[in-house]
Structure 1
Amino acid sequence: MDDVPPGQAEAGPGDAAAAVVFATPNATTPGQPVVFDTAACTGCNICVYVCLEDVFIPNPIKGKPPVILYPEECWYCGPCVEDCPHEGAIRLNHPLQQRVRWKRKATGEHFRV
């Protein structure tokens, strides 16, 4: 196993998965605890008012998603997502969901289990 690149598993007998996929680290996203879908967000600012940690401020441009001013203050508690009237306009980018992903060796496609 000395010649196997880091993050790859050596295929053993009957281990078909290791022959076709390997783990890859995610790109780091420091300071991005919340992601807005700009097509779905109308800039209603409900998330600004319900955030317990004042992570957001209203965007000075009307109709645009709020500005994430203090990303390091986010506790991933979720009222911003739960109280948003627009489905899918905001989602938490929780660090535990960013840890491991897999890549198919044949196609290069990334996926999570």
Structure 2
Amino acid sequence: MNSPRMLPNPPTPNEPIQFASDICNGCNLCVNICRSDVLMPHPEKGKPPIVLYPDECWYCGTCVLECNRKGAIKLVHPMNQSVTVIWKRKATGENFRLGMKHPPAPNTRKPCS
């Protein structure tokens, strides 16, 4: 009888969790705390966990908070969940965002016809 296996889901493009392999010591605290069982321990001792089901990540951040090594794990939110949105005015090259204290003057150019 074959034993059950866990295989990563390669067709998904997102990468919600990134590990710094030079900082992570493979303690698996993040694996134990993950609410949606996205992570699995690496078969080799001392290596970062494997992100098994990236589409199931809730982006709750408990894995980052539980980690006892600063910078070992990073949560990467998708672009559509990004809080800071920056626009760049093509004509002048200046950047601005909503809610900034001193925004650039409004664009007064007439629209092209």
The TM-score range, normalised by the shorter chain, is 0.5 to 0.7
AA in 1 matched with 2:72 = A
With normalisation by structure 2, the TM-score equals: 0.60
Q: CA deviation at 1:97?
A: 3.6
Cα separation, 1, equivalents of 2:84 and 2:17: 16
Distance in 2, matches of 1:44 and 1:70, equals: 20
Who is 1:71 aligned against?
54
List alignment gaps of at least 5 residues for structure 2: 1-11, 89-96, 98-113
Q: How many residues are treated as equivalent by the alignment?
A: 77
Alignment correspondent of 1:51: 34
Per the alignment, do residues 89 and 98 of structure 1 end up closer, same or farther by CA in structure 2, a change over 3 Å counting? Answer: farther
1:84 alignment counterpart: 67
SS in 1 for 2:55: helix
- The alignment partner of 1:35 has SS state of strand
User: Pick from 22, 25, 33: which aligns with 2:16?
Assistant: 33
Deviations 1:46-97 (A, max 9, x none): 0000000000000001100001001110010011000100001001000134
Q: Distance in 2 between matches of 1:102 and 1:88?
A: 29
Deviation >3 Å, runs of 4+: 97-103
What is the letter of the counterpart of residue 55 of structure 2? E
The higher radius of gyration belongs to 2
Per the alignment, in what secondary structure is the counterpart of residue 44 of structure 1? coil
Q: 1:10 maps to which residue?
A: none
Q: CA RMSD in A?
A: 2.5
**Structure with greater strand share of residues:** 1
Q: CA deviation at 1:37?
A: 0.6
Indicate the structure whose relative CO is greater, using CA pairs within 8 Å and at least 6 residues apart: 1
Aligned mates of 1:63, 1:43 — CA distance in 2: 4
